[in-house]
Structure 1
Amino acid sequence: MLVQIAIIGVIAVTFYLHEDRVAMVKLPPGSLAQWYKPANKRQVWLHNMFKLRREMQAVRLYAESRDPERLEKWIARLGGDYRKISEMVPEWKRKLDLDAMASLEKASREKRYREVLNALERLKESCESCHTDYRAVTATLYRAPDFSTLESPPGRPLKKGMRELIGHVNRIKIAAEDGRTGVALTALVDLEQGMEVLGKTCAACHEKETPAYPGPAIRKTLLSLRVSLETGTSREQGRALGNLAVQACATCHGTHRIVSDSRRLFTHRQDWVQLLQH
């Protein structure tokens, strides 16, 4: 008992000392993964959530309009899909408000529409409680991209390739600012070649886009950058390079990198020694 108290005390003190840098999240049960890709061919869990939302909307609609026949139809669907949650993720069975579901069904059979709406509100609160704890982290874990195993080109980790591209961009900026046009143009060639290699990796997912990366807008900006490096002013060079950084880097990072990095935070677990050292 004393040992447990001591451990809890250490944890509490650690979090208190790092309260400005520590955030806690609840991770969903591992059994949830089987209802998402790639473990499953379809996003089964997601579609069940969509059905529940639609069914709850229909129940409210027909309770308010006092339409018993259609109300019974949608409550039957809602009851089945709501209870299915405990079959799909048994760890979450205790989070379900089965009493509210039973009250909803009973009130519907007895045509007590006001009580149907009250029970529906309780059901909604149970859903929102779970969403508050798990929705964001679940979406990040199972719907965000995982680039950790990608290579660009084959045999080289994607992360290393991305760092090289950043290095080329900075080489262009440094050389252009220092009046070294030849060095800047050489770095631009390296950047263009690296982007072409990256584009082949992007095409694995963006297969319907031709070309996926770099697209026509990026190629046009690359041409503008080349012209500005050869004959333009430093202001024109800076503008062209800034446009390229937005089109070729920031746009994709805003879509992929933020959620990918967040996913890594949730999947990369540190042990207590690492945590205390940090």
Structure 2
Amino acid sequence: MKPRKTGAYSPNMKPKFQAVAGFILLLIPYISFSADLSIQPPPGSLDKFYSERGKTSEWIEQMRQINKTFGAVFIDMDREDWGKALQSGKDFGLAYQKASKMVPEWKDLFDLDAAELFIASIQSQDAEKTVQLSKKLGETCSHCHQKYNISVWARYHWPSTQTIKVLDPIDEKEVEYNPFMHRLSSSFRNISIHFDQQKYNESWKAIDIFSKRLRGLRSVCSKCHVTEWSKNSTTVKDYFVGDDMIDALQEIKKSFASGSPDTKLFQKNMEYISKRSCKMCHLIHQPPAIIQRAWSENP
């Protein structure tokens, strides 16, 4: 069967379809949000697909199947292999339909009629109609991602700090994560307070306290980053609580020991720790923690 003349495929249009498919797929993660964005918890029926920590979710695997089969349609069209394009379209339809049944609360976010028409347009080799329907289907993906991507990440990909306890090396007592972080922050701040007051012995002691607590924080990283901690040569602790932080503190202590504390060196090293350890870690970990806390306080 030859392609229909209206909206038909031709060799001159070859690059078009892969480009269109790529454009639609690239748009899916880059979604716009309204000014009154509200991040609601994902439905409870999704929990079963994320029950085994460390294993790729069955839901994610299904999303990948949708993505792959959708893109394959346009690759096959570029090759003028309408038979394979139809098979890819049917595979997409099955994957899309299966996903629509996995989370009952989300079934209305799927446009099954558009999926059927998409397959029919491939069967009739109506390239123009196929592209139109692919955009409509892409919008259903974007709409769902806009509503739920962030909440799914916050619930399933970021373990709650509320379950974490840390051994404070100063009093050798186990405390919850949040109180420990307050103690860590206070001990870091005390270094500068004593330095500004020219109480260098007290500042030295504060450095020792902060150093011990910073090292103690490394155990927290391993509670979530198990694989990275045990298998990689460069582990997660090297990013925020690495030896470079301890070295910066040691430089300050050497300045104290010289008898002439160097204010510029002190400020430089304290700023290094503040930005490279505290700030960078907070930028990554605090947003999901704030979302989780809001959900727990307003169920």
Say yes or no: does 1:257 pair with 2:271.
no
Percent identical pairs in the alignment equals 20
The whole-number CA distance in structure 2 between the counterparts of 1:96 and 1:211 is: 39
The Cα of 1:42 is off from its aligned counterpart by 2.7
The whole-number CA distance in structure 2 between the counterparts of 1:167 and 1:61 is: 58
Q: Which residue does 1:155 correspond to in 2?
A: 174
Amino acid at match of 1:123: L
The whole-number CA distance in structure 1 between the counterparts of 2:236 and 2:131 is: 52
Alignment partner of 2:262 out of 210, 233, 240: 233
Cα deviation 1:103-139 (Å, max 9, x = unaligned)? 1112222222222222212111111122222222222
Q: TM-score, structure 1 length as denominator?
A: 0.81
The Cα of 1:64 is off from its aligned counterpart by 4.6
Deviates more, 1:36-45 or 1:100-109: 36-45
Amino acid at match of 2:181: M
Say yes or no: does 1:88 pair with 2:117.
no
Cα 1:58/1:23, change in 2 over 3 Å = closer
Alignment partner of 1:207 out of 217, 229, 246: 229
The whole-number CA distance in structure 2 between the counterparts of 1:223 and 1:40 is: 37
Deviates more, 1:221-230 or 1:144-153: 221-230
Task: Say how many residue pairs are matched.
Answer: 250
The Cα of 1:257 is off from its aligned counterpart by 2.1
Cα deviation 1:160-195 (Å, max 9, x = unaligned)? 111111011111010000000010000111111111
Deviates more, 1:189-198 or 1:168-177: 189-198
Q: Which residue does 1:13 correspond to in 2?
A: none
Query: RMSD in angstroms over aligned alpha carbons?
Result: 2.4
Say yes or no: does 1:36 pair with 2:36.
no
Cα 1:117/1:38, change in 2 over 3 Å = same
Cα 1:132/1:118, change in 2 over 3 Å = same
Structure 1 unaligned blocks of 5 or more: 1-20, 272-278
Whether the aligned pair in 2 keeps the contact of 1:63 and 1:117 (CA below 8 Å) is no
The Cα of 1:201 is off from its aligned counterpart by 2.5
Cα 1:126/1:22, change in 2 over 3 Å = closer
Deviates more, 1:58-67 or 1:127-136: 58-67
Cα 1:242/1:44, change in 2 over 3 Å = same
The whole-number CA distance in structure 1 between the counterparts of 2:109 and 2:277 is: 45
Q: TM-score, structure 2 length as denominator?
A: 0.75
Alignment partner of 1:166 out of 185, 196, 221: 185
Amino acid at match of 2:143: S
The whole-number CA distance in structure 1 between the counterparts of 2:38 and 2:250 is: 47
Alignment partner of 2:296 out of 265, 268, 275: 268
